[in-house]
Amino acid sequence: MSEPTDVTEATRRAHAAVLEASPFDDTADLAAVDRGFIAPLPDEVRLHEGDRPVWNARAFDFIDGDAPATVNPSLWRQEGLNRAGGLFEVAAGIYQVRNLDLATMSFIRGESGWIVVDPLTSAETAAAALALVQSHVEQRPVSTVIFTHSHADHFGGVRGVVSQEDIDAGQVRIIAPEGFIREAVSENVMAGTAMSRRASYMYGSLLPPGPTGTVGSGLGKTTSSGTFGLLEPTDLVGHDVDSLVLDGIEVETLYTPDTEAPAEFVFFLPAWGALCTAEVVTHNLHNLYTLRGAQVRDALAWSQAIDAMLARWGRQTELIFASHHWPTWGHDASHDLLVAQRDGYRYLHDETLRRINHGETMLEIAEQVELPAALAATWSLRGYYGSVNHNVKAIYQRYLGFFDGNPANLHPHPPVEAARRYVDYMGGADHIVARARADHEAGDDRWVAEVLKHVVFADPDNTEARRLLADALTQLGYQAESGPWRNFYLTGAQELRDGVAIPPAEISTVTPDVIEAMDTSLILDYVSVRLRHAEVADLRTSVALVLPDVGEHYRLELSNGVLHHRATGGEPAADVEVSVTMPRARLNQLLGEVDVAELLAQDDVAIDGDATTFRRLLEELDDFGFWFDIVTP
């Protein structure tokens, strides 16, 4: 692997400015992060005994002392706080395990067992967290699991703490927000391959931990790489539910959809005066648009949800704990955290809309908007995960979309074609590289990246351009306060220097648990997405699909290269060319690697009519390769 470049004077100046402008004399978080410590984490968690590690708690031990020249000192401070891991007592009867995955896993003592909040990404890390609590606090069963929202790092490890058999026996309840299953599985399926590939940039999973590599993601370190699962909730929290009794504990709930996740809720524990803010309020400015890719979030709804927390529980709250980071103790500190977060998201929303209505474009607004001084000086609103810049762009996108209104930007050339023209207009690759090298030496790396991306896309084999672009991205990474920005820059630089390094662990978001949790309509939507549409554009067929084991009937219609479906109630569809009867498990197999002829020949698959076109349709399902290029064409 190629070595990254040395720190430039421009980067040193940028870091000096951060040190000068930031409130490093505010050390409250440094005391809070170690409060209630009970036991350390295991050094590592493995997939199986002797198999590969899925989590290494010691990987970030290098984060200590003053920031090195290769890391933004504000980000270094945040990642030092995120490195504090182990089992902690939040209050008598409330515990957390931190830095055993990207998220924080919480435990509440119920009357008969543990109430587990957000069981991490992987079964192995969740099981290790539960083992810490069982060993150092109290040995008791898990009675309840709470999924606060629909992102994978908050439910994927559920099989490490409970089983489907526990649920079927009525021994465990799983509580989740309304819409949880559809949001949880659709985000990981419909655009899951592209989203996960980009997540490898965002979370720095391809970078070595270290001062010149990843230091974390601002929200936490990175995601674990163990067994991802999903169990269906037994109870849903929506607008019509404002309280529950879970294992003898009174829990007041507030449904907060379209905030940090499309399906999310927060809750208050009156017995403790404790507010669990899920991921709506954490110790950083969060993402209104996540760089891995997702639907843009609603800054206004986010701010209003926090205001609703203040209105309902503000006077009673003595403690805040969340699904990431460390708790906030005390009424005044909790109130201040909620107010700052509420005001931060609302300020970005309102100021962006004000400028939109003056005719300013997305890039112009993002370059100008800053939080007011009091909010900018608040550590919990620093852009460690989201950033003011890309959150402003998200607000613009949510209201006006990709187009800035200038007709010259309405139909630009795609990257490779545009790059060839740019390079020709700018005097050729050699001329551009020479000028870019001078700009790099002057510290203008944003511009170096802008111009050299065209050279690389016009000629990906231009080694000099690739190396210089990598050097520019490296300095931008060193300067970034946002963990994801740093990881994106440094991963891009690494792939420019060394190519795409494919790790041995297979990556797929379409796991058996996810497929099982998908409703049949969503599966059929995904089958339609996977069609090689141009290849089947001349085909026509209609199919009655019968799934007798789940009592479902669908009419499928293939026309003009797309597959439509509609449920037909309790009877098979009539007036179709072919009827196909199969158990739901066979339909699930279509989302994996399957021999179509072999699947249709199974004893539990019955076909009535001419299935030639239907078979052709299934043979034209596309496979999505994970390791596509990003910084090169």
pLDDT in tens, 338-355: 999 999 999 999 999 999
Residues of the chain with pLDDT > 90, as a percent, come to 87
What is residue 46's predicted lDDT score, i.e. its pLDDT?
86
pLDDT in tens, 144-172: 999 999 999 999 999 999 999 999 999 99
Mean pLDDT of all residues in the chain? 94
Residue 443 has pLDDT above 80, yes or no: yes
Give the integer Cα–Cα distance in Å for 485 and 480. Answer: 6
Q: Angle, to 10 degrees, between the axis of helix 73-83 and the axis of helix 483-498? A: 100
Give the integer Cα–Cα distance in Å for 82 and 517. Answer: 32
Measured from the Cβ of residue 406, the count of other Cβ atoms closer than 10 Å reads: 8
pLDDT in tens, 601-616: 999 999 999 989 989 9
**What confidence category does residue 3 fall into, taking pLDDT thresholds of 50, 70 and 90?**
low
Give the integer Cα–Cα distance in Å for 501 and 494. Answer: 9
Give the integer Cα–Cα distance in Å for 578 and 417. Answer: 45
pLDDT in tens, 525-575: 999 999 999 999 999 999 999 999 999 999 999 999 999 999 998 889 999
CB distance 156 to 226 below 8 Å:
no
Give the integer Cα–Cα distance in Å for 88 and 103. Answer: 14
Residue 358: exposure state from Cβ atoms within 10 A (0-12, 13-18, ≥19):
exposed
Helices marked H in 290-360: 299-313, 331-356
What is residue 1's predicted lDDT score, i.e. its pLDDT?
56
CB distance 516 to 535 below 8 Å:
no
Mean pLDDT of 265-276: 98
Residue 250 has pLDDT above 60, yes or no: yes
Of the candidate CATH numbers 3.30.420.10, 1.25.40.880, 2.160.10.10, 1.10.8.50, the domain formed by 409-498 belongs to 1.25.40.880
CA within 13 Å, CB half, 163? 3
pLDDT in tens, 209-233: 999 999 999 999 999 989 999 999 9
**What confidence category does residue 500 fall into, taking pLDDT thresholds of 50, 70 and 90?**
very high
Q: Are strands 173-177 and 235-237 parallel, antiparallel or unpaired?
A: parallel
Q: Which of the two residues, 307 and 502, has the higher pLDDT score? A: 307
Mean pLDDT of 94-105: 97
Tokens 């190629």 belong to: 2
What is residue 25's predicted lDDT score, i.e. its pLDDT?
94
Is this structure's pTM higher than 0.95? no
Mean pLDDT of 591-605: 88
H-run or E-run covering 53: strand 53-56
Q: Which residue, 324, 335, 405, 303, is CA-closest to 363?
A: 405
What is residue 44's predicted lDDT score, i.e. its pLDDT?
85
pLDDT in tens, 505-521: 666 767 888 888 889 99
Q: Which of the two residues, 247 and 504, has the higher pLDDT score? A: 247
| Total length of the chain | 633
Q: Which residue, 589, 544, 588, is CA-closest to 565?
A: 544
The three-state secondary structure class of 37 is strand
pLDDT in tens, 104-114: 999 999 999 99
**What confidence category does residue 2 fall into, taking pLDDT thresholds of 50, 70 and 90?**
low
Q: Which residue, 206, 203, 208, is CA-closest to 62?
A: 208
The three-state secondary structure class of 456 is helix
**What confidence category does residue 186 fall into, taking pLDDT thresholds of 50, 70 and 90?**
confident
**Rounded alpha-carbon distances, angstroms, from residue 75 to 14, 326, 355, 390, 580:** 13, 16, 29, 17, 57
Residue 181 has pLDDT above 90, yes or no: yes
Residue 506: exposure state from Cβ atoms within 10 A (0-12, 13-18, ≥19):
exposed
φ and ψ at residue 95, rounded to 5 degrees = -135, 160
Amino acid letter, 96 = Q
Q: Quick one: the chain helix, strand, coil %, rounded to 5? A: 40, 15, 45
Tokens 């040395």 belong to: 6
pLDDT in tens, 37-50: 999 999 888 877 66
**What confidence category does residue 501 fall into, taking pLDDT thresholds of 50, 70 and 90?**
confident
160: left (phi over 0), alpha (psi -120 to 50) or beta: alpha
Domain boundaries, the chain: 9-389, 409-498, 519-619
CATH superfamily of 519-619: SCP2 sterol-binding domain (3.30.1050.10)
Residue 416 has pLDDT above 90, yes or no: yes
Domain covering 9-389, topology: Metallo-beta-lactamase; Chain A (3.60.15)
CB neighbours of 318 closer than 8 A, spacing ≥ 6?
Answer: 272, 273, 274, 329, 330, 331, 334
Q: Which residue, 204, 206, 200, 218, is CA-closest to 78?
A: 218
* Strand order, beta sheet including 319-321: 243-246, 249-255, 265-269, 274-276, 319-321, 328-329
